């Protein structure tokens, strides 16, 4: 997948530095979101397939987890990249 995405060099965990507060109302099926870096996984793009009350379900589009399914909580979503 070709995309204009450059991961951030900010290694602070979610909630430190950048304030985002992404909620269920900010995403919908088909949205592409930016997931914060965590553990040894860098910041990456994630396509939303399901929107739940406490998380989203979908597939990593970039990074080492692509094309794995996951269900990241909203506090791991840094921003909505594309709706």
pLDDT digits (tens, 9 = 90+) for 45-55: 999 999 999 99
Token digits for 82?
């594309």
What integer pLDDT is reported at residue 82 of this predicted model? 84
Over residues 45-70, mean pLDDT: 97
Q: How far does CA 2 lie from the centroid of its chain?
A: 17
Domains of the chain, each with CATH number or no CATH: 24-82 (2.30.30)
The helix/strand/coil state of 24 is helix
What is this structure's pTM? 0.77
Confidence of residue 11 (pLDDT cuts 50, 70, 90): low
Adjacent-strand bridge partners of 65: none
What are phi and psi for residue 63, nearest 5 degrees? 85, 180
Q: In which band, very low, low, confident or very high, does the pLDDT at 8 lie, cut at 50, 70 and 90?
A: low
């Amino acid at each position: 997948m070709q995309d204009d995405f450059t991961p951030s060099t900010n290694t602070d965990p979610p909630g430190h530095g950048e304030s985002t507060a992404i909620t269920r109302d900010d995403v919908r099926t088909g949205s592409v979101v930016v997931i914060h870096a965590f553990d040894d996984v860098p910041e990456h793009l994630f396509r939303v397939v399901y929107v739940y009350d406490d998380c989203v379900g979908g597939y990593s589009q970039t990074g080492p987890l692509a094309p794995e399914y996951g269900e990241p909580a909203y506090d791991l979503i840094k921003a909505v990249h594309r709706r």
